[in-house]
Amino acid sequence: MPKPKIPGLFTGMRITFGELIKTLFPRRGILTLIPAPSKGAVTVQYPHESESPAPRARGVIALKEENCTVCMLCSRSCPDWCIYIEGHKTKAPPRRPGGKERTVSALDRFDIDYALCMYCGICVEVCPFDALFWSPEYEYSEPRLADLLHDMDRLAEWMETVPDFEPYEAGSNAKVRKVPR
């Protein structure tokens, strides 16, 4: 015999009431009847307790300075032009003794204006040298708008907060990427 169908109206009311009870009385045992909404609700009372974002949350963009070649790909692909890069060419010692001196690019300035950034992540995607990474860090607000222009050193600090890439699915042939430490 099929179970009698409960009208959706009552199912809906049961669900909201159940959620109310679950939030208000989350504890078990002898404490069940003492309301404790702070434990039952999923809300994080942010300034009092800190939130732990998902590891791949788009909090802020970190820079690995040594990997940057001043190729400007990120700056050019940025939809709202919030990345400022300046660099110069310099000579580096040859790789092998007796070889020719190499020409390398050195980074003078790498600023991201987080007042403009819209967290699209195109710069991270486009970087061919593994210099830009997403970090879940989120506490970098400033009282002044102009202070949201974060420079190279600040961006490099966030490198420590970048989590490792998640392992690929079993059977994947893609090259395993590693976060440079």
Partner 1 sequence: MDGLLFGLELSYWQASLLRVLGVLVAVILPAGGFVYVFLFKMMSFMQSRLGPMEAGPYGSIQLLAEVGKFLQKEDIVPERADRRLFFLAPYIVLASTFLLLVVMPFGPDAYFANLDTGIFLALGLSSVSVIGVLIAGWASANKYSLIGGLRAAGQLIAYELPLVLAVVGVVIQAGTLNLQGIVAAQHQGEIFGFAGIGNPFVLTQLVGFFVFLIATQAELTQPPFDMPVAESEIVTGYITEYSGLRFLLFFIGEFATAGAFAAIAATLFLGGWAVPFVELDDNVMNVAGPLVLFGKMMLVGFLIFWVRFTFPRFREDQLQAFAWKYLIPISLVNILATMVLKVAF
Retrieve residue 55's tokens.
């590891």
Which residue lies nearer to partner 1 by CB, 50 or 90? 50
Positions in the binding site for partner 1 (CB under 8 A): 9, 12-13, 15-17, 19-20, 22-24, 37-38, 40-43, 45
Tell me how far, at minimum, the Cβ of 44 lies from partner 1, in Å: 10
Question: Shortest Cβ distance from residue 36 to partner 1 (Å)?
Answer: 11
Q: Which is nearer to partner 1, 25 or 84 (CB)?
A: 25
Is the Cβ of residue 26 or residue 163 nearer to partner 1 in the bound state?
26
Under a CB-based contact definition with an 8 Å cutoff, are residues 64 and 131 in contact? Answer: yes
- Identify which of residues 1 and 6 has a Cβ nearer to partner 1 in the complex: 6
Q: Please identify, using beta-carbon distances, which residue of 1 and 9 lies nearer to partner 1.
A: 9
Cα 114 from chain centre: 13
Nearest distance from residue 49's CB to partner 1, in Å? 12
In the complex, least distance from residue 22 CB atom to partner 1, rounded to whole angstroms: 7
What is the nearest approach in angstroms of partner 1 to the Cβ of residue 4? Answer: 21
